[in-house]
């Protein structure tokens, strides 16, 4: 009977070690996927801005600005211009194809050119991973000089996301099996601990850390994985100075290389998403770091 107990104990240790290894691997995979996604999204915005720049040059305008690229939804972006312009439809198609070919996530997308101040579509086309499914027409025409806004909508990569969810779901099942295997035989008389809420209140802003969302005045704003982790650090110490070195250490240390501009970029993006509430802001404390101010 003693040997049986020892055998059971050894099996339990092996099973525990296996489950722990799988869970750690899953966490590393999830964080790695988030970081890659953040980088690809940042690179996409640069490519979109480049599209606007080349359209202005093709229009003979090398002075006026391309307005900041706006993210209208998860997979939809807007390119605006400071001044009016003209463009040839084939130039827009070729420029967009050439630049977005550098985006690994841009397999299928739809481009619409709208007249400013209205929903009238001046020109549009669709590009598919299978070129035979492309929808491109009127490529030889020149559009009159006017105020235009370019909207680009990308097809969501639902299959990849579903695979990741299935994978993480399977790991959750393994964790549940481990819990059942190692739970005490005798019933526990102590009351269960109260689990902390996944939603953190920051003034009038509700931060759903679990689902990576901000709820501001009934408006929902999505956060990336890096933005969510960054805001969570601020949310745990509101109105307190957070050292720049600490943010870099906790967010990027495991990547081996810390890039200072990466922190500035994500602080800027996070600050823009909090602009819906004028009473909350991330301010720079020169020489020290940042502070999440909630008035």
The segments of the chain whose pLDDT lies below 70 read 1-36, 158-198, 253-261
For residues 248 and 260, is the Cβ–Cβ distance under 8 A?
A: yes
pLDDT value for 196: 44
Sheet harboring 219-222: ordered strands across?
199-202, 205-208, 213-216, 219-222
For residues 26 and 167, is the Cβ–Cβ distance under 8 A?
A: yes
pLDDT value for 27: 56
Helix H or strand E encompassing 262: helix 260-273
For residues 139 and 148, is the Cβ–Cβ distance under 8 A?
A: no
User: What do you get for the CA distance between the two ends of the chain, in Å?
Assistant: 66
Helix H or strand E encompassing 76: strand 76-79
pLDDT value for 186: 45
Nearest CA to 182 out of 15, 7, 5 is that of 15
Helix H or strand E encompassing 198: none
pLDDT value for 181: 56
Domain ranges of the chain: 37-158, 199-294
C-alpha–C-alpha distance, residues 46 and 48, integer Å: 5
pLDDT value for 254: 52
For 36, the token pair is 């890659």
For 243, the token pair is 């050292």
- The alpha carbon of 131 is separated from its chain's Cα centroid by a whole number of angstroms, namely 28
CATH number for the domain running over 199-294: 1.10.10.10
Condensed to tens digits (0 to 9), the pLDDT of residues 115-158 reads 987 778 889 999 988 888 888 887 778 899 999 999 999 988 75
In whole angstroms, how large is the CA radius of gyration of the chain?
25
For residues 41 and 103, is the Cβ–Cβ distance under 8 A?
A: no
């Amino acid at each position: 009977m003693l040997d049986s107990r020892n055998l059971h104990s050894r099996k339990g240790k092996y099973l525990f070690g296996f489950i722990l290894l799988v869970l750690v691997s899953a966490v590393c995979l999830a964080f790695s996927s988030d970081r890659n996604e953040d980088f690809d999204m940042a690179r996409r915005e640069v490519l979109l801005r480049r599209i606007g720049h080349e359209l202005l040059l093709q229009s003979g305008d090398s002075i006026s600005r391309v307005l900041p690229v706006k993210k209208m939804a998860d997979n939809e972006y807007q390119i605006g211009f400071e001044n009016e312009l003209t463009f040839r439809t084939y130039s827009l198609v070729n420029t967009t194809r050439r630049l977005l070919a550098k985006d690994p996530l841009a397999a299928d997308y739809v481009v619409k050119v709208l007249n400013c101040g209205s929903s009238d579509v001046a020109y549009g086309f669709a590009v598919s991973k299978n070129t035979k499914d492309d929808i491109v027409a009127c490529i030889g025409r020149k559009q009159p000089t006017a105020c235009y806004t370019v909207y680009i909508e990308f097809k969501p990569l639902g299959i990849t996301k579903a695979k990741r969810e299935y994978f993480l779901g399977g790991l959750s099942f393994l964790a549940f099996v481990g819990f059942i295997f190692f739970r005490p035989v005798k019933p526990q008389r102590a009351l269960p601990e109260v689990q902390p809420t996944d939603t953190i209140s920051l003034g009038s802003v509700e931060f759903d850390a679990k689902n990576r969302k901000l709820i501001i005045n009934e408006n929902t704003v999505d956060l990336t994985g890096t933005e969510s982790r960054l805001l969570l650090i601020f949310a745990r110490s509101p109105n307190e100075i957070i050292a720049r070195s600490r943010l870099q250490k906790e967010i990027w240390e495991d990547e081996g290389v810390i890039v200072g501009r990466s922190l500035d970029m994500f602080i800027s993006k996070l600050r823009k998403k909090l602009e819906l509430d004028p009473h909350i802001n991330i301010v720079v404390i020169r020489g020290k770091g940042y502070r999440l101010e909630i008035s």
